[in-house]
Amino acid sequence: MIYEDVLKNPDLYDFTVPTIGSPKVLSPLLQRQFVADDERISFSSQVKNIINQIRTCEIFPSFEKAGPRKHIFYKPEKTRVAIFTCGGLCPGLNDVIKGLVSVLNMEYNVSDVFGIRYGYKGLTQSSSFPPMALDIITLDKIHNQGGTILGSSRGNQDPKEMVDELTRLNINILFCIGGDGTLRGAMAIAKEIAERNLQISVIGVPKTIDNDINFVEKTFGFETAVQVAAQVISSAHSEAEGAENGIGIVKLMGRDSGFIAATATLANSVVDFCLIPESRFNLEGSNGLIESLAIKIKEKKHAVVVVAEGAGQELFGGEFANNDSAENVLQKDIGGLICEEITNYFSRFSNSVSIKYIDPSYQIRSVPTVATDAVFCYQLAQYAVHAGMAGKTNTLIGHWNNFFTHVPIELATGQRRKVDLDSALWRGVLSVTQQDNYLN
Amino acid sequence: MIYEDVLKNPDLYDFTVPTIGSPKVLSPLLQRQFVADDERISFSSQVKNIINQIRTCEIFPSFEKAGPRKHIFYKPEKTRVAIFTCGGLCPGLNDVIKGLVSVLNMEYNVSDVFGIRYGYKGLTQSSSFPPMALDIITLDKIHNQGGTILGSSRGNQDPKEMVDELTRLNINILFCIGGDGTLRGAMAIAKEIAERNLQISVIGVPKTIDNDINFVEKTFGFETAVQVAAQVISSAHSEAEGAENGIGIVKLMGRDSGFIAATATLANSVVDFCLIPESRFNLEGSNGLIESLAIKIKEKKHAVVVVAEGAGQELFGGEFANNDSAENVLQKDIGGLICEEITNYFSRFSNSVSIKYIDPSYQIRSVPTVATDAVFCYQLAQYAVHAGMAGKTNTLIGHWNNFFTHVPIELATGQRRKVDLDSALWRGVLSVTQQDNYLN
Amino acid sequence: MIYEDVLKNPDLYDFTVPTIGSPKVLSPLLQRQFVADDERISFSSQVKNIINQIRTCEIFPSFEKAGPRKHIFYKPEKTRVAIFTCGGLCPGLNDVIKGLVSVLNMEYNVSDVFGIRYGYKGLTQSSSFPPMALDIITLDKIHNQGGTILGSSRGNQDPKEMVDELTRLNINILFCIGGDGTLRGAMAIAKEIAERNLQISVIGVPKTIDNDINFVEKTFGFETAVQVAAQVISSAHSEAEGAENGIGIVKLMGRDSGFIAATATLANSVVDFCLIPESRFNLEGSNGLIESLAIKIKEKKHAVVVVAEGAGQELFGGEFANNDSAENVLQKDIGGLICEEITNYFSRFSNSVSIKYIDPSYQIRSVPTVATDAVFCYQLAQYAVHAGMAGKTNTLIGHWNNFFTHVPIELATGQRRKVDLDSALWRGVLSVTQQDNYLN
Amino acid sequence: MIYEDVLKNPDLYDFTVPTIGSPKVLSPLLQRQFVADDERISFSSQVKNIINQIRTCEIFPSFEKAGPRKHIFYKPEKTRVAIFTCGGLCPGLNDVIKGLVSVLNMEYNVSDVFGIRYGYKGLTQSSSFPPMALDIITLDKIHNQGGTILGSSRGNQDPKEMVDELTRLNINILFCIGGDGTLRGAMAIAKEIAERNLQISVIGVPKTIDNDINFVEKTFGFETAVQVAAQVISSAHSEAEGAENGIGIVKLMGRDSGFIAATATLANSVVDFCLIPESRFNLEGSNGLIESLAIKIKEKKHAVVVVAEGAGQELFGGEFANNDSAENVLQKDIGGLICEEITNYFSRFSNSVSIKYIDPSYQIRSVPTVATDAVFCYQLAQYAVHAGMAGKTNTLIGHWNNFFTHVPIELATGQRRKVDLDSALWRGVLSVTQQDNYLN
């Protein structure tokens, strides 16, 4: 676990946030209580860890606190801003876009805000779509819509070409809303900017419906995803109850980490088995999933299984693709495999089961946000604008111990946050499902 | 069209409702305005048709009006009732069950009501589940749950064995909640009962989420299905807008008729093409779906397609299974075919499209009812109980010209109701989509 | 009852639809199956009534069938159209507006469509808001929003001044979306137009969340209102169950008729008493509401009461305002009276009750439509455009026996449709609540 | 602010958790990673504060970490548990009840669990309701229902009488789900138990929809309340937009603190003024609410106001009741006052406004939980059971810096948590509404 690793080797991790230069412009947010650059948020709030750190660390592991700075780097009236969204849909993209525009327009009087169309591609020659001018009046109701008004695309583009385009458009701050791959693209852009000595800030708003960005406790869209996932579990439950030996199987997002599957299971406590990448399981044998299901079916006449898409990848044997490689490695269809194995098993005993397999992926990621998620989106946008105006760069907006934080992009990318099997979350799942009585 | 056929050849259709005997018991519903057995609902309410019928028909085509009768056939205190649900889930099953029990308990003082478990199978020796005693207190909140508390199964069983079981249980009225196949099973039971000269009424409550039972204007669950389907169309729309050349495809229920697809399209007027079994279309060629989509994509940069599962079956060529045969003929996957053809077409022009294909079937059929659907379920249950207590048999409860009706099961089964291409419904779809400008 | 009266005295009612002149322009809807002006929908579809009518009536009571005509009156390219919304909010206003614009733009190629701001007031000198140009592109997503993008206001204005304005704007068709008062205003405008011999059609789209326009079976917004009302009943039920002797009271819309209260009660079968204007009840005495509630509380420890705002107005004694006068007669607060009487009664017996009184009016009328309601809105809009283009005037779009109809405004206004106490609806309510065992 | 006060005077606050005795029984949770009693969660995670504390404090301010202990106090097979709910409804009561029963039954094999009916009253002679036996099978679906299956009541009872009853029932652990008043009642019970030297643990699960329990960052029900409140704001917005000079006013819960109002405003960014108890405002004068509204109306033609029920109480002058006294001090109706003042003001200028005032209180508190709230409820229940089984007493389950904590009831009651006007929450509200441009 990365988390434990920071506590043990804090000096290996660099929490320093880069800036584009030294801020001198007085912020127009005159009445605010400003945040100083040296205010920091402790990595851990467990007292034992804190005391240990004080004894042993050169550097006390902590994040730079996000918030409005008294002096900002860019003159509002001359600042030109670009925003884009990248990767698959996620609830809240429009909320973040509206939030960025709102804070820029209303709090910093920055009116030159542009939406880049269809992700990184919109910063290249191959795009036929000019940037959209964005203002708060015309975006008034987009927070009630799913999707992204800017459009999105996958994949990175040549940083040189993109920086050329940013220069051509006279952009000063670039907000990149996207996942691990997008953020690594943003790093490349920031590096190119640094090499050319340009004054363009690159600020990331981390987007992963899986909630697995490293050093970030919560990402936008996740709460909404859990809400829809929990409803789908009710559907699976009704289907399972509606048939003799009915089995409802729901495959949820989660390539590398099972946050959605685990949280939705805890939210809708009718699940019998919750399978996530972090917790290995067998299909066969007396502690395997299939025989466990058979016992459960005997007891209750029906069962509900929730499986994260990245769970049980090791069961596919040698064909198993490397987990750490590029974003677009397709996982093997674990839900399909489970369906197949169940069918095979029960057919051997001439015991009919009725399997209903639901994969609601597109319906989860395309809906408008639930209220607390919308709040989070607005706040992310607010802190992203503060960071950008303050001249921070190559940085994303995180959330840690209830504070918004600045996290160097490099620190947050590359590795994924995982479900801690000793956390309240996973303990709750084990309590709800009692699956360890069967699987182990 | 069956509808036109009745108007032309009314004498071919037998609207006569069978009864188990002559009702003599005075109904306990003392304050009610009762319905007489000869009250009837006109088949057509178009004046031209009416005048024509009067001139030409021996028999004026009309339904027996459902409702409480002054004299009933069964003595409430001695009446024993069985209820079962059969076939796939459909919103409203629990509403109908609660309604039947409520009306029997509260209006007729019939307290011996039993739920047969898992469909017809529960009436056979192979079932290990005894009937559940049902009363209104314990069922108080089931109308808020999807699924069926009785469980369901597919397929018919031997009528002899089932009538043996009904006799063993001393059942007087059997309520069969199910689709075309179930209703034909109910006919077989009624026939066996008639042959044995037993006094057991068989009353059907037609269940088809597709809304395609013949001689019945509306079936329960349909309005709820449309509500969920319309929401899924919003998801597909967000997905389509979120990508350059994004295409959202939603496959909806509708083997033989496109009521859900057409109604959901009209409910959420963002659809570009709505494909139903009743309206043929080509995939290829200048008026085919694929080139039409290409034009639309050029115009709007994205498109939404709604396709009923039974649409375009003729496109699969010689392998096409006969539509009129048994319930469980699986349709070919038209949604998959369309995805494939789109991919092929656009790859030829090195023009990338982004297809999102959604099949929300299980999520549509497992949810609780919307309010007006719940109302309809309760009323169906009410009229079903009135029919059963009055000694009607081999009859289902229909709805026509705003009245609940008695429809002989034989009349309603075998053929499916179809979307009339000259109806307000389909005209609305053509208006919303403007698809005839492309496809024809 | 008006309904019975038509059947007895059909000759007293004039079902003739006025037209602005003789249509000669060929409709651009070339592929349609057109409706002829003499196609009519029977008033009744009960066979006894039909046969009786044929024997006795000079005029067979029936509505003109709505739909596209082969010849239309206005040349599409020269037609200018105005739309306005009037009175309180109702779900579906934006759906109807979008529908009208969509059908005018897409089916008739009419592009000059204007939205009058804030009701009739927008057609007067006192308005400072110019008409909004409306087109289908910018209105694309308004069907997902509650409210009305045009704004609304109450009250009529001088017809002369409004016709002056229509003339100044060169309007040919005026679509009036509003209730009884609005429609009577539309009649005054149509009369003024006729006196001046102008070629301006006035088409009403009846709006009443109460669903009580005469000669119209269903109005838009009603199904959505019932959906929200049914959810509020669940809240009242939870509140009632949550306290010893808890009583949840929900006041719903319904000045003159109890359709929302009755239908929502049937939709959510947890209600103990449903009170509507059509069915008188006493507060005091052994069959009165308060003692009935006391019995119910004793039996169940809690109770739920649904009351239409116009119920029990006679209980307020001499102060009772005349029901038939202007739209804005405020009803006395029956919900408040019931709360007061319950409190008084129970305090006498030193028996504490816990009353929770909910009046969700604004939350019901401001939400987006449910799916089947959205379908109905689109179809109303479609048929309204067909009627307007065909040169019909002083007419509204009704719905009867599953057909859309033309109803002369005069016929539909003045009196309200009421809940028939022998209908399936009210019988259902009595079955669900069993209230007649207590109140009578 | 209490928060600041702890940082300045940590020694004044006692974070020590009482126990009923020394735990010796080995926990049946064999595979768990257990929490030791001396594991603690830092009060602050801002580094400056931590460093300052280390320099200056005798006692480092921190909470005892909640979680399963290796040794527990009660023998599971002999443990008898009682649960009750007290005070007004709040989303999640049933989730917590189900959670407690589930964890007791399934994780600790404690099967004697009883529900006390209707709050504290159920522990007295005056109650005629015996305790309900609770088990996980029959409670399977209650997490989908609003309200509380146990019933609730307000007000405390004589601790002696209640402890008599607990003794009579042989209860070992009492779970009290309720607000500030309930928790103080629980303290009185714990004190009485201590005086009698009984082995009964008293564990509180803090319930306040207002989210204002001291030393607890988040309470259950709050996220759901915000979700419903945000939807009601949409209704108010539609109403406001639907009329010329339309003003939608939403009164939300929040006697002493404005968390719901502020969070819902941030969730649905269409609000113009958000008024909370923590931030004073004037009605009259050039920076007062009324003139500010007049300016906003001039700019936008409509406005939306969200007001917490406890806001602006000082505007009622001398009649203002003391805020710190008993739970049931009724606040003056600030929403009504604002409506009145607006009407007066605009009538002076013969400028008509249209006010729609919505008070959705009962509808907010009676609904089922949203998913993340359901998760929180289950976890609270889990940690409450761990605390109870470990022999903790006079303690509630809190949440701080993402950990579940033990908080001595005395520490948490008496004073309320308030919205920090420098927090991300309130900064977000000011950003969304821009109200400081008008009000200050």
Same domain, D361 and D430: yes
pLDDT at C330: 60
Same domain, D236 and D215: no
Q: Closest partner residue to A238 among B146, B239, B356, by Cβ?
A: B146
**Is the CB of residue B252 less than 8 Å away from at least one CB of chain A?**
no
Q: Which residues in chain D touch residue C117, judged by CB atoms under 8 angstroms apart? A: 244
Three-state SS at C428: helix
A327 — pLDDT class (breaks 50, 70, 90) = very low
Query: For chain D, what is the mean pLDDT?
Result: 92
Please enumerate in sequence order all residues whose Cβ is within 8 A of that of D230, keeping only pairs 6 or more positions apart, or say none. A371, A374, D264, D267, D268
Q: Measure in Å the smallest separation between the Cα of C401 and chain D Cα atoms.
A: 33
Torsion angle of alpha carbons D276, D282, D283, D285, nearest 10°? -150
* pLDDT, tens digit (0-9, with 9 covering 90-100), for A203-252: 999 999 999 999 999 999 999 999 999 999 999 999 999 999 999 999 99
Contact B15, B61 (CB under 8 A): yes
- Dist CA A112 CA C302 (whole Å): 60
Res A440 pLDDT > 90: no
pLDDT at A401: 92
**Is the CB of residue B244 less than 8 Å away from at least one CB of chain A?**
yes
pLDDT at C302: 96
Q: Which two tokens stand for residue C269?
A: 């079968």
- Which stretches of C199-277 are DSSP H helices? 222-241, 259-267
**Is the CB of residue B141 less than 8 Å away from at least one CB of chain D?**
yes
> What DSSP letter does each residue of A58-94 carry, written as one string?
SS--EEEEPS--SEESS-GGG-EEEEEE-SS--TTHH
> What DSSP letter does each residue of A28-67 carry, written as one string?
S-TTS-PPPTT-EEES--BHHHHHHHHHH-SS--EEEEPS
Q: Considering the domain boundaries, does residue B417 fall inside one?
A: no
* Active site amino acids of C: 210
- pTM of the predicted structure, to 2 decimals: 0.95
Res A328 pLDDT > 50: no
Q: What chains are in contact with D, requiring at least 3 Cβ pairs below 8 Å?
A: A, B, C
Q: What chains are in contact with C, requiring at least 3 Cβ pairs below 8 Å?
A: A, B, D
Same domain, B268 and B290: yes
CA end-to-end distance (rounded Å), chain B:
22
- Which stretches of D74-203 are DSSP H helices? 93-107, 159-168, 180-196
Contact between chains at A145 and C145 (C-beta distance less than 8 A): no
Q: Which residues in chain D touch residue C152, judged by CB atoms under 8 angstroms apart? A: 242-243
Q: Which residues in chain D touch residue B144, judged by CB atoms under 8 angstroms apart? A: 144-145
Res B325 pLDDT > 50: no
Torsion angle of alpha carbons C374, C375, C377, C381, nearest 10°? 140
**Pick from A245, A262, A339: nearest CA to A298:** A245
In this structure, how many other beta carbons lie within 10 angstroms of the beta carbon of residue D117? 23
Residue C5: C-alpha distances to residues B401, C10, C12, C61 (Å) = 20, 7, 9, 11
Low-confidence ranges of chain C (pLDDT < 70): 1, 318-330, 350
CATH number at residue D305: 3.40.50.460
**What number of residues does chain C have?**
440
**Pick from B203, B136, B128, B223: nearest CA to B392:** B203
pLDDT at A318: 60
Q: Which two tokens stand for residue A369?
A: 């946000």
Determine whether A210 is an active site residue.
yes
Same domain, C28 and C119: yes
Q: Which residues in chain A touch residue B234, judged by CB atoms under 8 angstroms apart? A: 146, 366-367
Same domain, D209 and D228: no
Chain position carrying tokens 């003692």: C291
**Is the CB of residue A137 less than 8 Å away from at least one CB of chain C?**
no
B397 — pLDDT class (breaks 50, 70, 90) = very high
Q: Considering the domain boundaries, does residue D417 fall inside one?
A: no
Q: Closest partner residue to A47 among D42, D217, D223, by Cβ?
A: D42
Question: Which residues constitute the domain of residue B168?
Answer: 2-220+369-412
pLDDT at B350: 67
Res B201 pLDDT > 90: yes
pLDDT at D357: 97
Please enumerate in sequence order all residues whose Cβ is within 8 A of that of B425, keeping only pairs 6 or more positions apart, or say none. B259, B262, B263, B266, B419, C375
According to DSSP, residue A275 is labeled E
Minimum Cα–Cα distance from B32: chain C residue: C422
* pLDDT, tens digit (0-9, with 9 covering 90-100), for A30-48: 777 889 988 999 988 888 8
Same domain, B45 and B140: yes
Q: Which residues in chain B touch residue A152, judged by CB atoms under 8 angstroms apart? A: 242-243
Minimum Cα–Cα distance from B121: chain A residue: A244
Please give the share of chain B, as a percent, with pLDDT higher than 90. Answer: 78
pLDDT at D325: 42
Res D416 pLDDT > 60: yes
Same domain, A40 and A140: yes
A351 — pLDDT class (breaks 50, 70, 90) = confident
Mean pLDDT value across residues D401-420: 93
Q: Which residues in chain D touch residue C118, judged by CB atoms under 8 angstroms apart? A: 243-244
Same domain, C174 and C257: no
A411 — pLDDT class (breaks 50, 70, 90) = very high
Same domain, C305 and C390: no
Q: Which two tokens stand for residue A192?
A: 């190119």
Between residues 342 and 381 of chain B, which touch chain A (CB distance below 8 Å)? Answer: 356, 358, 360, 362-363, 366-367
Between residues 83 and 102 of chain A, which touch chain B (CB distance below 8 Å)? Answer: 89
Query: For chain A, what is the mean pLDDT?
Result: 92
Contact between chains at B145 and D141 (C-beta distance less than 8 A): yes
**Is the CB of residue D243 less than 8 Å away from at least one CB of chain C?**
yes
Q: What's the number of domains chain D is made of?
A: 2
Q: Which residues in chain C touch residue D246, judged by CB atoms under 8 angstroms apart? A: 151
Residue-wise burial string across D251-270, b where 16 or more C-beta atoms lie within 10 A, e elsewhere: bbbbbbbbbbbbbbbbbbbb
CB-count burial class (<10 Å; 0-12, 13-18, 19+) for C388: buried
Three-state SS at D200: coil
- Dist CA B371 CA B37 (whole Å): 31
Res A175 pLDDT > 60: yes
Contact between chains at B152 and A241 (C-beta distance less than 8 A): no
* pLDDT, tens digit (0-9, with 9 covering 90-100), for D371-388: 999 999 999 999 999 999
Same domain, C162 and C257: no
Query: For chain B, what is the mean pLDDT?
Result: 92
Q: Which two tokens stand for residue B44?
A: 């057509």
Q: Which residues in chain C touch residue D232, judged by CB atoms under 8 angstroms apart? A: 363
Of the candidates B95, B112, B180, B210, the residue annotated as catalytic is B210
pLDDT at C10: 78
- Dist CA C402 CA B222 (whole Å): 17
CB-count burial class (<10 Å; 0-12, 13-18, 19+) for D326: exposed
Res A269 pLDDT > 90: yes
* pLDDT, tens digit (0-9, with 9 covering 90-100), for D210-268: 999 999 999 999 999 999 999 999 999 999 999 999 999 999 999 999 999 999 999 99
**Is the CB of residue D144 less than 8 Å away from at least one CB of chain B?**
yes
- Dist CA D41 CA D44 (whole Å): 9
CA C355-C357-C362 angle, to 5 degrees, is: 170
pLDDT at B324: 42
Contact D247, D225 (CB under 8 A): no
Contact B151, A243 (CB under 8 A): yes
Higher pLDDT among residues B119 and D32, named by residue:
B119
> What DSSP letter does each residue of B262-318 carry, written as one string?
HHHHHHSTT-SEEE-TTS---SSSTTSHHHHHHHHHHHHSEEEEEEETTTTGGGGGG
* pLDDT, tens digit (0-9, with 9 covering 90-100), for A134-151: 999 999 999 999 999 999
* Residues paired with A80 in a beta bridge: A112
**Is the CB of residue B137 less than 8 Å away from at least one CB of chain C?**
no
**Is the CB of residue A155 less than 8 Å away from at least one CB of chain B?**
no
Q: What chains are in contact with A, requiring at least 3 Cβ pairs below 8 Å?
A: B, C, D
Res A57 pLDDT > 80: no
Mean pLDDT value across residues A412-428: 91
- Dist CA B74 CA B200 (whole Å): 10
Same domain, B44 and B187: yes
What is the interface size between A and D, counted as CB pairs within 8 Å?
Answer: 182
Contact D149, D118 (CB under 8 A): no
* pLDDT, tens digit (0-9, with 9 covering 90-100), for B52-98: 887 777 778 899 999 999 999 999 999 999 999 999 999 999 999 99
- Dist CA A395 CA D63 (whole Å): 33
Higher pLDDT among residues D437 and C388, named by residue:
C388
Same domain, C49 and C98: yes
Of the candidates A95, A112, A180, A210, the residue annotated as catalytic is A210
Contact between chains at A371 and D263 (C-beta distance less than 8 A): yes
User: What is the phi-psi region of residue D435: left when phi exceeds 0, alpha when psi lies from -120 to 50, beta otherwise?
Assistant: alpha
Number of H helices, E strands in chain D: 14, 15
- Dist CA A368 CA A372 (whole Å): 12
- Dist CA D118 CA C155 (whole Å): 50
pLDDT at B285: 92
pLDDT at B326: 42
Q: Measure in Å the smallest separation between the Cα of B291 and chain A Cα atoms.
A: 22
User: ipTM greater than 0.85, yes or no?
Assistant: yes
Q: Considering the domain boundaries, does residue C121 fall inside one?
A: yes
pLDDT at D326: 42
CATH number at residue C22: 3.40.50.450
* pLDDT, tens digit (0-9, with 9 covering 90-100), for B342-375: 999 998 876 789 999 999 999 999 999 999 999 9
Q: Closest partner residue to B404 among C62, C270, C424, by Cβ?
A: C424
Instruction: Determine which of C240-249, D16-25, D398-407 has the lowest per-residue pLDDT on average.
Output: D16-25
